[in-house]
Amino acid sequence: MEPNIINRDQHPVSRTQMSLEVLKVLYRLHGTGHLAYLCGGGVRDLLLGREIDDYDVATDAEPKRLKEVFGNCRLVGRRFRIAHIIFSGGKIIEVSTFRRQGDEDDLGENQTNSLLIKRDNTFGSPADDAFRRDFTINALYYNIADFSIIDYVGGREDLRSQLIRSIGDPDIRFQEDPIRILRGIRLAAALGFEVEESTWEAMKRQRHHILECAVSRIREEIMKILRRQASHVGFQLLIRAGILEILFPQLEESRLPPSERKTIAEESILQHLAALEDLRVRDTELSDSVLLATLTAVPAKELLETLPPDQDVGKSLHEYLEANFKPLAFPRIVRSRVHLLHLALRHMLAEQRRKRRRSLRRSPIFVDALKLLEIHCLATNQQWSVLRRWQNPPVQGKKRRAKTRVLKSKRNS
Ligand code: ATP
Ligand code: MG
C-alpha cells in the first residue's frame, strides 16, 4: 500500500512546535537505524496548530531493542509492550512498535460480540499500524528522517474538511472496539468537526455495544468529554446518537408529562453544560465533582423540588445519584461530593438563617458549591442576587468585627 507523502514544503509542521524530549527520542531512534515517526493525535494537533499534551512515537524497533537503545526506558502494558522513555522532571514519551489490528489493550470484559478484538501481540508494518487506528485524522505520521508527513488513509484531506471518518468499515471498526464511538464523539466536540455520514450512522447502529467495553474506559471517555472544551457539544452528540440514554438511563427521566419529558430535560442539561464554557474562559478550575454535579443538576433539582414531604431528601438524592453513577463505577468519593454539592445548591438557593450560611461557608465543598451555583445562574439566567450574596463575605460580620475593634480600643485606652 503506497502512502501519500506530504513533503516538508507542503505542510506547516515544524520541529520548533515539538518538545525537546520527543525530538531526542525521534533522533535517537533514527540515529540507531530505525524508523522514527511521531504519530496519532500529536500530528493531528500540530497540523491544526493546537497545543499538544501528549506525544506518541511509532517505530519498527521491537520492545527488547528499545530497552537497548534507551537507558531511561520502562516497558509497560500487559500484552502489547509499550516503552515509556522517562526524562528528568517525570516527562514521559510513549514509544510503540508498529503493530497490526487486534492488539488493543484493556478491551471489554464481557465479550458478547464476536468481532470484539482478541488480544494478540503481533508487530506489523507502518501501513498495518495506520489501518489499525480509529479515525483517518488520527493515523498521520511525521517522519523525522525527512520531516515529511505520511498519510495512508486520507487523513490530511479529512483534516482540511474537518471530518471525523472511521478507517475501514465503520460498523466493523465500532464492533471491534466500541469505545471508538465515544472517542469519535469526543474528537468531534473538541475539534468542532463534523462526523462523516456513514461513520455517524454506524455510531448510532452500534451504540448498544458500548456497554461491552470495560467501564473504566467508558468512564474515562465521558470524563474527558466533560473536562475539555465544548462538553455541551459532546453531550449533544451523545443525545443525538441515542447514547446518553444507554450510559445514563436515569438522566432524562423527569416528572414532566412524557411528551415533553425528554426534550425539556435534554435542553436544560445542555444549557447547564454550556455554562461550563463561561467558567472555562476565565480559567476556573472545575473538579470532576462539579462537572458531574452540573450534568445531574437539572434532574436532581427537579427530584428535590417534587419530593413528597414525608420522603427523606438525602436518601432519595443518594438513590438517584447512585443509579446514575454506580453502573460506570465512578469513585465513591466523587459520588459523595456530588451528593453534597446538590444539597449545598439547594441550601444556597433557599433563604437560610445566617448561622447555617456560616457553616456552609466554612465547609470544604464551599468553593465547588459556589461554582455550581454560578453554573445554575448562567444556565437559567436567574437568581443572580443569590450568587452575589454568597460570593461576597457577609457585610454584617464586617460591621460586627469593626464594632468589636472599637470596643477593644476603648477598653485599652
Ligand atoms: P488525545 O490524546 O487528545 O485524547 P489521541 O488521538 O492522541 O487524543 P490517544 O488515546 O492518546 O488519543 O491515542 C493515540 C492514538 O492511538 C490515536 O490517535 C489513535 O491513532 C490510536 N488509538 C487510540 N485508541 C484507539 C482505539 N480504541 N482504536 C484504534 N486506535 C486507537
Ligand atoms: Mg494522545
User: What is the Å distance from ligand 2's center to 7 Cα?
Assistant: 24
State which of 183, 191, 224 you would mutate to test the pocket of ligand 1, scoring each by most atoms of that ligand within 8 A of its C-beta: 183
Query: Which pLDDT score is estimated for 101?
Result: 80
Query: Which pLDDT score is estimated for 53?
Result: 77
Q: Which atom of ligand 1 is nearest to the CA of 180?
A: 27
Residue 392 has pLDDT above 90, yes or no: no
Cell of 396: 454584617
Q: Which atom of ligand 1 is nearest to the CA of 53?
A: 2
Q: Give pTM, 2 decimals.
A: 0.89
Read off the pLDDT band of 256 (50, 70, 90).
low
Residue with cell 465503520: 170
Which ligand approaches the C-alpha of residue 168 most closely? 1
User: What is the Å distance from ligand 2's center to 43 Cα?
Assistant: 10
User: What mean pLDDT comes out for the span 336-356?
Assistant: 85
**Known catalytic membership, residue 278:** no
Residue 293 has pLDDT above 50, yes or no: yes
User: What is the Å distance from ligand 2's center to 56 Cα?
Assistant: 7
Residues 6+ apart with CB under 8 A from 295: 226, 235, 248, 251, 269, 272, 273
User: What is the Å distance from ligand 2's center to 400 Cα?
Assistant: 55
CA-proximal residue: ligand 1, atom 16 (nearest): 40
Distance of CA 211 to the CA centre of its chain: 18
Which ligand approaches the C-alpha of residue 224 most closely? 1
Q: Choose the catalytic residue: 45, 56, 129, 151.
A: 56
Residue 119 has pLDDT above 60, yes or no: no
Name the amino acid, one letter, at 215: V
User: What is the Å distance from ligand 1's center to 251 Cα?
Assistant: 28
Query: Which pLDDT score is estimated for 106?
Result: 43
> Which residues have CB under 6 Å of ligand 1?
40-41, 54, 56, 104, 133-134, 138-139, 177, 179-180
Read off the pLDDT band of 43 (50, 70, 90).
very high
Read off the pLDDT band of 345 (50, 70, 90).
very high
**Known catalytic membership, residue 45:** no
Average pLDDT, the chain: 89
Q: Which domains does the chain have, with CATH numbers?
A: 1-159 (3.30.460.10), 162-247 (1.10.110.30), 269-413 (1.10.3090.10)
Strand 4-6 relative to strand 148-151: parallel, antiparallel, unpaired? antiparallel
State which of 47, 51, 133 you would mutate to test the pocket of ligand 1, scoring each by most atoms of that ligand within 8 A of its C-beta: 133
User: What mean pLDDT comes out for the span 6-26?
Assistant: 96
Report percent pLDDT > 70 for the chain. Answer: 86
User: What mean pLDDT comes out for the span 8-32?
Assistant: 96
Residue 117 has pLDDT above 50, yes or no: yes
CA pair distance 168, 381, nearest whole angstrom: 46
State which of 39, 99, 134 you would mutate to test the pocket of ligand 1, scoring each by most atoms of that ligand within 8 A of its C-beta: 134
Contact status, residue 101 vs residue 88, Cβ threshold 8 Å = no
CB atoms within 10 A of CB 162: 13
Return the exposure string of 317-346: e unless at least 16 CB atoms fall within 10 Å of the residue's CB, then b.
beebbeebbebbebeeebbebbbbbbbbbe
User: What mean pLDDT comes out for the span 7-33?
Assistant: 96
Which ligand approaches the C-alpha of residue 96 most closely? 1
Read off the pLDDT band of 399 (50, 70, 90).
low
Query: Which pLDDT score is estimated for 107?
Result: 47
Q: Which atom of ligand 1 is nearest to the CA of 133?
A: 30
Q: Which atom of ligand 1 is nearest to the CA of 45?
A: 3
Cell of 39: 504519530
User: By mean pLDDT, which of 4-13, 64-73, 264-273 is the weakest?
Assistant: 264-273
Residue 291 has pLDDT above 50, yes or no: yes
Read off the pLDDT band of 306 (50, 70, 90).
confident
Choice between 338 and 109, residue whose per-residue pLDDT is larger: 338
Angle between helices 313-325 and 297-305 (to 10 degrees): 150
Q: Choose the catalytic residue: 103, 129, 134, 177.
A: 134
Query: Which pLDDT score is estimated for 21?
Result: 95
Residue 217 has pLDDT above 80, yes or no: yes
Which ligand approaches the C-alpha of residue 44 most closely? 1
Report percent pLDDT > 90 for the chain. Answer: 72
User: What mean pLDDT comes out for the span 387-407?
Assistant: 69
58-76 per-position pLDDT tens digit? 999 999 999 999 999 999 9
User: What mean pLDDT comes out for the span 379-394?
Assistant: 89
Choice between 262 and 39, residue whose per-residue pLDDT is larger: 39
Query: How distant, in Å, are the alpha carbons of 22, 63, 226 from that of 29?
Result: 11, 12, 37
Residue 235 has pLDDT above 60, yes or no: yes
Query: Which pLDDT score is estimated for 398?
Result: 54
Query: Which pLDDT score is estimated for 335?
Result: 96
Residue 93 phi/psi, 5-degree rounding, is: -110, 130
Residue 355 has pLDDT above 90, yes or no: no
User: What is the Å distance from ligand 1's center to 41 Cα?
Assistant: 6
User: What is the Å distance from ligand 1's center to 115 Cα?
Assistant: 20
133-184 per-position pLDDT tens digit? 999 999 999 999 999 999 999 999 999 999 999 999 999 999 999 999 999 9
CA pair distance 261, 255, nearest whole angstrom: 7
**Known catalytic membership, residue 54:** yes
Residue 193 has pLDDT above 90, yes or no: yes
Query: Which pLDDT score is estimated for 264?
Result: 66
